[in-house]
Every structure is written in structure tokens, then in C-alpha cells.
Amino acid sequence: MAGEAPAEDPARAAPGPGLPVAAVARTATRRVDPARNAPGPAPHRRAAEPGPADVTRAAAEFIALQHAEERLGDPSRRLAAVRAEIADTGTYRHTTRELVFGARVAWRNANRCIGRLYWHSLAVRDRRDVQDAGEVAEASADHLREATREGRIRSLITVFAPDTPERPGPRIWNEQLVRYAGYARPDGGVTGDPRNAGLTGAARRLGWPGGPGTPFDVLPLVIEDSRAEPRWFALPEDAVLEVELTHPEHPWWQELGLRWHAVPAISNMCLEIGGVRYPAAPFNGWYMGTEIGARNLGDTDRYDLLPLIADRLGLDTSTDRSLWKDRALVELNRSVLHSFDGAGVTVTDHHTESRRFLTHMGREEGKGRQVGADWSWIVPPISGSATPVFHRTFENVERTPAYVHHPDALDRARGLAPG
């Protein structure tokens, strides 16, 4: 796809050796303006709330879709009940069956996701009764445990309380349930993941004492509800499975202290089903290796490990014509697949997933459904032309139900939302 209960000691986040200090300085030097990442002064941009007429129209489209696809017969009776409920309250409550169908179809409609072949197998945890930030944190940790299954990753979504005219639902600031801290340094660089520097600063201002200061300290969850300012909640140790990265041929690789978490549970996207918004609905599939090796660890504005890997491999980095970046990138991605396989943790590779995506397209088109896709996201970040999706064109058509990035959620993930 492409993931707190009682607070615990943050120092437990990253057992084992971290990147050497020199490597950290070299691999994470994106400059961060602390003022830009402060949650206070930035304007709060909130997605426009749908009015009753918008909700009624969206509900009618969704219910008609569900009844047609699941062969439930004439939707008139259900539509009449929904219209009456919207007239009374401004919104309506999905049945459990509607919620499950909507969450799965939202995955089917995710244009940036290459792993949609198994959309119909998404397991849905209905926690719409949960509003309190502490309870959201506890249920989110349970989500990770249930999704992880000792490495046999399961596609899962947990749906918390929706937005209503009376009060907003809870919101998880973190982009994913498991993210690594990014500590801004006096020299302008970052120790850890620069992408999370803003959220790390916000968590510190909310009282999080920080972890031991390694490049892989697990961030706490930052969660807000309608009754209080955002609060932080440390993830329990047993909720976070991590994989230490080794290499099939280079024993020195383990000395780098690289690791990554097993479950990519996206947590700041809003699930929109038939006019109802669920702002906290963390969901996960499993990793494609390139998400970790080519992007999280390889991007220059993330861990930027290619220079370090190339140096240890003895490659000529004086000229791009040596293709040192390409060679280092391949070895880094080999390390990810080798390590996850060795640890018994579900992971897929970009060649396999590209073929599966075309299988998904064929199945959907066979049922008369056009598959929307964003080519720039579907084509893998390495060896694109060696995969079959490179040689196809796609229509980037947006459909609902959907998982949506709202501007205010993006602000929160950067530590910019007021609170």
C-alpha cells in the first residue's frame, strides 16, 4: 500500500546500534526551519464540510453502488431511511456492511496504490464508538498487533468516529502509525528521518521527552479529539515489529545499524464514504521493497543513504557516469528484500507487484469497471522500464468512496496545525 496505549519509556524505540554519528551527519542534512515546523502560527486549513444536500447526493450514489455490486435489490427503502436521518441530523450512520464495502472500494479506487489486487480481502475493524484520544491510541496499537501477526502481514483498517455536525471525529497527526523521529540539529541537519522533523518538534513541545537520539527512534502517536489539545502516546514495544537490515553478500552491512518497521499503516488520510468523513481510519497492506529501499532510505530528502552505501561498496562517486547511485540503490533494495524474507515478514518486490497490478486491471475491466491510476506512482522508483506497468497508460480518474488527503491533515503531519 503503497501503521497507544499506556505511555512507555520512549528509549525502547530503537534497540541495537544506530547509524554511526558520522553517517548520520552525512545522510540526513536537509535543513529545517524550526519556525516553519511550529504548530502555532500557521493558519489552520480545514477541508470544507459537506452540507446536507451534498451528503444526501453522495449517500444516494454510494448506496446505489453497493446495492448494484452486492446484488442487494432495490435500494429505495434504505435510501428513504438515509434521507430521513440526514434531514433530522445532517448526517447518517452506515450499517456495518456499508462500512466494510465502502472501506474496501476506497482501496480499489486508490489511484496511487499498485497493490490493489486484494482489495476485497481488506479486514475492517469497526471502532466508530471511539472518540477519546487515549482510546484511539490504544486501539491503534491493537491495530498494529492484529495487522502484524508475527510477520504474516494482514491488510487491515480500523475506522474511528466520523465527523458529524455536532463534533469532529478524532484525528491522528502521524502520517503512519509507525514513523521514525527526525531531530533537528544546531548545524541545520537532521538526525533520523527529515520528513518527520516537524512532527517530532511538535511532539516535543507537547511533552514527549524524545528517544535515545538514534536515527530510528519510533515517534509517539500524536492524537487530538474534540475535547482537548493534542496528546502524545508512546507505542508499546510489542506493537512495533522492526526488521534489522543485512545483506546477502556483505557482512559489514549489519554494522550500519539500518532497520525498518514491518507494517506501513497510513493514519492521516480521511476515509470518505457516501458523504460521511472518517478522519481517523488507519489502514495498511504490506510493503513493496522499493518503498523502503528506494524511497525511505534512498531519497536525498529522507535518509539519503546512497553516498554511504557507495562508499562502503568502493564505488567511484566522482562522476555520475560510473552509475554509482544506480548500483548502490540496487544493493540497498536487495538488502531490504533479503532481510524481510530472512525475518519471515511479508514484503513484495516491484516486478511481482507490477504483474499483479495488471492482473487487477484485467479483473476489474472484465467486470466493466475502469481502473484509475496515477502513472507516476504506479511505475516503481527503480527499473521502471523493466516492469510491464511502465509501458501502459492509465486514466487518473478519481472515484468515491476514497481515501483523501485533506490540507489540514497534511499540516498536522508536518507539525503545523495549531494545538
Other CB atoms within 10 Å distance of the CB of residue 20: 14
d(CA 229, CA 224): 6
d(CA 81, CA 327): 61
d(CA 411, CA 175): 10
- 206-216 burial, b at 16+ Cβ within 10 Å, e below that, comes to bebebbeebbb
CA 172 to chain centre: 12
d(CA 307, CA 22): 12
What residues contact residue 148 under an 8 Å CB cut-off, 6+ apart? 239, 241, 262, 263
Task: Give SS3 for 379.
Answer: coil
Here the cell at position 294 is 528506494
What residues contact residue 101 under an 8 Å CB cut-off, 6+ apart? 66, 69, 70
**Terminus-to-terminus CA distance in the chain, angstroms?**
30
Q: Which residues are catalytic?
A: 113, 116, 286, 291
Other CB atoms within 10 Å distance of the CB of residue 95: 11
